[in-house]
């Protein structure tokens, strides 16, 4: 059980039976009366956001969230199938729940799936994934301008900026948090 004094950015709590995460937080102490906690909340199930002000005596339940390690198997339209690596049960997430993660998901990628009351609501990818380049312009010798990059299409369809010496068919490491090229993977 949380009290209003425990509120902070990133805290996950349950309000009216749904899990919410605090995305913005500010504390206001007027000259008279109770302290106020102004929060911007995001629903972790459907993504809706709203602002709410709480008073210093308010209490909240902790959101009952669990994370399970699961392996991405395949996509069927706008549904994505994941298998629990310990129980072998399969769960489906929608394209909305996957969101930007689809740019870095390839078959057999192990990631963490967030559950609320035994239903999947979100995904956490590893910080780095290795993906193959399926389309890139060839490097022109002598093209050595400092800081120059070129677009490269990855096996997932995502386009990332890479240094000019990186070629089609190579395996590269991509940071899933920023979506940027990190390095070539040596074989």
The string of pLDDT tens digits covering residues 136-145 is: 888 766 656 5
156 neighbors 105 (Cβ within 8 angstroms)? yes
- What does the alpha-carbon distance between residue 123 and residue 115 come to, in Å, rounded to a whole number? 9
Q: Which structural domain, as residue segments, surrounds residue 170?
A: 128-184
Residue 165's region, left for phi above 0, alpha for psi from -120 to 50, else beta, is alpha
Last residue of a domain, one of 13, 39, 62: 62
> Which pLDDT belongs to residue 141?
64
Q: Which of 1, 27, 23, 29 is nearest to 11 (CA)?
A: 23
Residue 79: name the closest of 69, 68, 90, 66 by CA.
90
- In the chain, the number of structural domains is 3
Write out the two tokens for 163.
């240094």
Q: Which long-range contacts (CB under 8 A, 24 or more apart) does 137-142 make?
A: 138/167, 138/168, 139/164, 139/165, 139/167, 140/164
- CATH number of the domain within which 26 lies: 2.30.30.30
pLDDT of residue 145: 59
Looking at the predicted structure, is the pLDDT value of residue 133 above 90? yes
CATH number at residue 95: 2.40.50.140
pLDDT-derived band at 121, boundaries 50, 70, 90: confident
pLDDT (tens digit, 9 = 90+) per residue, 43-80? Answer: 888 878 899 998 888 898 888 889 899 999 999 988 99
């Amino acid at each position: 059980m949380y009290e209003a004094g425990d509120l902070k950015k990133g805290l996950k709590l349950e309000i009216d039976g749904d899990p919410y995460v605090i995305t913005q937080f500010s504390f206001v102490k007027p000259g008279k009366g109770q302290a106020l906690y102004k929060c911007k909340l995001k629903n972790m199930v459907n993504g809706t956001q709203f602002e709410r002000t709480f008073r210093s005596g308010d209490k909240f339940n902790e959101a009952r969230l669990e994370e399970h390690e699961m392996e991405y198997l395949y996509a069927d339209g706008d549904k994505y199938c994941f298998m629990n690596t310990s129980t072998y049960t399969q769960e489906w997430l929608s394209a909305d729940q996957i969101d930007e993660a689809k740019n870095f998901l390839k078959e057999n990628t192990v990631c963490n799936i967030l559950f609320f009351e035994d239903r999947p609501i979100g995904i956490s990818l590893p910080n780095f994934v290795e993906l193959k380049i399926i389309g890139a312009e060839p490097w022109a010798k002598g093209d050595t301008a400092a800081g120059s990059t070129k677009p490269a299409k990855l096996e997932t369809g995502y386009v990332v900026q890479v240094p000019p010496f990186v070629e089609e068919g190579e395996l590269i490491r991509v940071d899933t948090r920023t979506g940027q090229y990190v390095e070539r993977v040596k074989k």
